[in-house]
Amino acid sequence: MPSFNRLFIAEKPSAARTLADFLARSQGIKAQAFSTHIVVGEDALCWERGHLLELVDADHYDPRFAKWRFDDLPIIPNEFILAPKRDMKGNRAGANAHIAAIGKLLKECQTVVGFGDPDAEGQMIQDEILIYLKNRKPVIRLWASALDDSSLTKALAAMKPNVEYLGWYEQAMCRSHSDWLYGINMTRACTIHARNAGATSPVYIGRVQTPTLALVVNRELEILNFKSVDYFVPQIALATDPGFKATWMPRADAKGEVIDPRVNDEKLLTNKADAEAIIDLVKRTAQARVLVAKTEPGTESAPLPFALSGLQSHCSKLYGLGATQTLEVVQSLYEKKLASYPRVDTEYLPEDQHADAPKIIASLAKASLPVAIGNALVGARPSLKSRAWNDAKVTAHHAIVPTMLDNPGEIARLSEIELKVYCEIVKRYVLQFWPQAKFMATELVLGVGTGGQMETFGAKGRRYVDDGWRKAFSDANSADDDGADVADPVVTLPQLTKDQTIPVSGAGFESKKTKAKKRFTEGTLISAMKNIHQYVTDPEVRKGLREGSGIGTEATRAKIIDTLLDAKRNLMQTKGKELMPTENGMRMIQLLPPHITTPDMTAVWQQFGAAVQARETTYRDFIVRQSSWITKLVKSSSGFFNPSQFPVDPKNPPRAAAQDTDHECFGLIPTAGCGSKLRLISGQYGPFYKCTNDKCGKTFRQVEGAPQEKTPGGARNSSTDLEAYKGQKYKCKRCEQGSLLKKARRDNTGSFWGCSHWRDADGGCKAAYNDHEGKPDFEGVTKKGGGGRGAANSGGFAPKPANA
């Protein structure tokens, strides 16, 4: 008889505790907490800790894959295998025990409730553990975008059979498995070919990692190749009330296309004499005629609530936070029931949640928040519905917003950085309940001179007649974090009419220099990854990337940046807040072909993944196509590199490629040779031979171009070695186990023969014999005493230590 009715499996312990507390309060009972689960009435709640399982390494499928050989590529498993995740020390014991505890609880319940995070990755984390444990119990899905009481109430009432989320699970599998196939095969293929060409470092390849590094490298190349250009900006001052300035405009045709030969491709006036001529004309004319005078009313909506990438960019700009740091903070706020789910890619909210606004606003008003937020809350009108409330732009997730505070006092316990991030989330939410700003936008175009000699000057401005949401927070009036166009400056222009003549009160020009683009910061790189379509020229690819929200996901972009910054990979580094490629990272992107470094491939993958989620195609179809594509890509990798691309570093010369030889595996030290062919390998400490039979794996030193057995324990050839005995000619007469090896004396007075077991436990065999005509002198013919290890010839045995 099952012990529990339902077993809730949460993705994280904090989510399980929050749900348990809610269920207990809802039923008016107490929860019982145990080390592996919580019991609430007839229900039990347990948890994972993110991924408890991971895809196994290539050598799990076949031991020979432990070595990187091009002939083994591509590596395409028939079925992908999961194993308990290793900890930082490489152990699986912790994950094993955790999984076993979940397995035990599964046997004691009637129904399983999946409570993974509400996204494709959360669905996979939840489903893969159930599949691994071979669960046969019915499974339903609890999909909660936030953990406050109101959100949990709605989510529990809307639970569906887990099978309805199969598309989400398979979409995540497509991403995970294709990333494994691409990363494993292309990293190995490119590293092997690059090393054969002279590279000394691995070439790490990743579907998102490589195009992201390419963004940073290309920006650095732009900066390095940038040459500043002097240019000039003529301006005139007009004698009106109020007075204003207008800026010179190059000549254009009827369609607005610039046709002025005096400007360069960037539409800049680069000849000082041209600027002087324009100003001379203005001074001679001394007046301007109004060619265009337009004033139109307009409205300006408040900035939308945050998606994760927008919040990361905003906090990077405002507080200098790294992308991972911001994610960790907002994740903490989510787990404390103060904010909604963070790993989201939308800035919009479901329309039915607008009804929660009065309660959320009221709870925020009771919290210890900065005065500016308190004042904005007083002016907020919960009945207003901004453009953020749009069901058409919301799928499984909605923007990051504050939740209704069950305990407003919780805000006072936040850390300094948690409070800062929380306040930014609150501000964006509160702005949705302030009215639009209203303004009058004015555009003026003025002409100086007549006919073909006329020069035109323009001015734009806006005058706010109702500040609306702009009054709520002064710092919210900045440009969009994702790089959207800045609005017309807040400039009040006079009311003018067409053909009106205006006196010119002054004229001159500004001398300026073009500036190189700035390096990426973590915040701006996150934005670039999301808006990667802006860096693509192909219209179809641009469309796919724009619709697919760029490269990476809200959950993975910060991790990708951290991976690129890993010192062991030597690809990217920081300079203050700026991101720069390393020399190795620069070379890698410059050498790899465009189809590896551009995001075009990701666009196709994401479109296919979206089709899998929508059940328009299947995971199997996706993997079949991936496998075919990977096979072709691996074959093409042989042409990516050549020796001229890798200058030799005298401090770290490249190793020669391994070579098959006709030598056979022989001898008895430390094991018997198997007779297979030997391969000559360029090792860190010099060339050596290794048996091509993986089950044998015996290694040999290279002496005078031939393989020779090593001393026991795999000792390397030392400076005192003269010759190693080939095969078993001379048996040690003392221990009758070892073979005799010929060694050079340390004093360079000749050589001696010593037992191969001299390093064995319990002191080893110290037998040593003088050398006589290339053979051990068993009969004591030679007079020289003292071998290389202090051994004399006396009967073939070394003298015992004094304390023996």
Q: Which residues are catalytic?
A: 341
- Check: CB of residue 498 under 8 Å from CB of residue 293: yes
657's tokens:
């490629």
Count CB atoms within 10 A of the CB of residue 676.
15
**Are the CB atoms for 399 and 344 separated by under 8 Å?**
yes
CB atoms within 10 A of CB 383: 9
**Closest CA relative to residue 580, chosen from 538, 627, 518, 623:** 518
* Residue of 730, 780, 781, 737 whose CA lies nearest to 758: 737
What phi, psi does 3 have (nearest 5°)? -80, -25
**Contact residues for 30 (Cβ-Cβ < 8 A; gap 6+):** 24
Upper half-sphere CA count for residue 718 (Cβ side, 13 Å): 11
- Which letter, b or e, does each residue of 614-635 get, where b requires 16 or more Cβ atoms within 10 Å of its Cβ? eeebebeebbeebeebbeebbe
Q: What is the DSSP string of 579-608?
A: EEE-HHHHHHHHHS-HHHHSTHHHHHHHHH
* Neighbouring C-beta atoms of residue 687, cutoff 10 Å: 15
Which two three-digit tokens encode residue 29? 């009972």
Q: What is the rounded distance in angstroms from the CA atom of residue 216 to the CA atom of residue 226?
A: 15
Bridge partners, 134 (sequence order): none
Peptide bond into 503 cis (omega under 30): no
Q: How far apart are CA 627 and CA 804, in angstroms?
A: 68
Burial (CB count <10 Å: 0-12, 13-18, 19+), residue 94: middle
63's CB contacts (< 8 A; 6+ apart) are: 694
Spatial distance between the Cα atoms of 679 and 693, rounded to a whole number of angstroms: 10
Q: Report how far residue 246's alpha carbon sits from residue 563's, in angstroms, rounded to the nearest whole number.
A: 49
Q: Are strands 4-10 and 32-33 parallel, antiparallel or unpaired?
A: unpaired
Contact present, 570 and 522 (Cβ < 8 Å) = no
Contact 751, 743 (CB under 8 A): yes
- Any idea what the Cα angle at residue 371 is, between residues 366 and 373, rounded to 5°? 70
SS3 string, 61-118, reads HCHHHHCCCHHHCCCCCCCCCEEECCCCCCCCHHHHHHHHHHHHHHCCEEEEEEECCC
In terms of Cα–Cα distance, which of 285, 662, 293 is closest to 453? 285
| 283: Cβ contacts below 8 Å, ≥ 6 apart | 507
Torsion of CA 400, 405, 407, 411, to 10 degrees: 50
Please give the Cα distance from 792 to 768 (Å, whole number). Answer: 7
What would the DSSP string read from start to end of 640-668? S--GGGS---TTSPPPPPPEEEEEE----
Contacts 24+ apart (CB under 8 A), 696-702: 696/665, 696/671, 698/665, 698/671, 698/673, 698/674
CA dihedral (478, 479, 481, 483) in degrees, to 10, reads -170
Written as one letter, the residue type at 16 is: A
